[in-house]
Amino acid sequence: MTNWTDAHCHLQDEFLGDAHHADAARATLERAFEAGVDRVVVIGTGEQTSREALAITGLASPVEIFATVGLHPHDAKDGLDPIAELAREGHPKLVGIGECGLDYFYEHSARSEQRAVFAAQIGLAHELDLALVIHARDAFEDLFKVLASEGVPARTVIHCFTGDARDAEGCLELGCDISISGIVTFKNADSVREAARLVPLERLHVETDSPFLAPVPYRGKSNEPAYVRAVGEFLAELREEELAVLRETTAANTARLFALPSR
């Protein structure tokens, strides 16, 4: 039986180089395994978190751990050089570039800086033949322009999708996959649910984005990879699909996206 894959988490928030945090991360992964999760992709958002994402792949765990390195649009002002250097070192568990993209909701970095750094990370994904993991919030029009200009890498995903059905259709037309987080379970997420219904099953992924955005019925708690099962169960009911089919197909989709080794 194929188990769940958490396509996007930030588990390194519990792994900061000392034994206490390593033990906490290991316990989190053990809970995930007990919940039927056997693969996670840990996502970098800056130099430190990217280094920690790569480091945590060496943690002894019943769950397979892979990692990405990237610079979040919030921190585009910090510059990409350390991330690019890290990516080119060729870590054996490195499977993607990102989380990168555009965030016009908070605008912690100037929009021009965000666009430039996003374009550079698209180029890095092309150069290294790695998956591209995109963050997009209130910025789909410019996102599509940058992707059209730079060329969409063959393996690209919009993580934690928060747009509407029209945005989803635009992403799919460009060749992007779409990953759904626990937001889809939130009471006020009608537009996300509408979008989630129209994504073809072979382009769909499930994620936690943990420790953020815990799904119902875990709202108010720190999110963790074990809860990806709740996201998947909600999606299966929403889309009127068999749970086993959705679980197996999303796991296969994420394996394809990140070119993960055969089981």
Q: What is the pLDDT of residue 21?
A: 80
What letter does residue 202 receive in the DSSP assignment?
G
41: in domain: yes
- pLDDT band, very low/low/confident/very high, at 2 (cuts 50, 70, 90): confident
Residue 61, CA distances (Å) to 2, 196, 229 in order:
18, 32, 19
The pTM score is 0.97
> What letter represents residue 105's amino acid?
F
Q: Which of 52-61, 131-140, 172-181, 191-200 bottoms out in mean pLDDT, i.e. has the lowest?
A: 52-61
154: in domain: yes
Q: Residue 211 maps to which CATH number?
A: 3.20.20.140
The range of the structural domain enclosing residue 68 comes to 4-257
Contact 131, 95 (CB under 8 A): yes
134: in domain: yes
Residue 96: in which H helix or E strand, if any? strand 94-103
Q: Residue ranges of the alpha helices (H) in the chain? A: 19-34, 47-56, 81-88, 111-128, 140-150, 165-173, 190-198, 228-239, 243-257
Residue 120, CA distances (Å) to 14, 79, 97, 152, 175 in order:
29, 10, 11, 12, 19
CA distance linking residue 210 with residue 13, whole number of Å: 9
Q: What's the domain count of the chain?
A: 1
193: in domain: yes
pLDDT at 237 over 70: yes
User: pLDDT tens, 63-104?
Assistant: 999 999 999 999 999 999 999 999 999 999 999 999 999 999
Q: What is the mean pLDDT of the segment spanning 186-211?
A: 98
Q: What is the mean pLDDT of the segment spanning 136-149?
A: 97
pLDDT at 16 over 80: no
263: in domain: no
Contact 39, 3 (CB under 8 A): yes
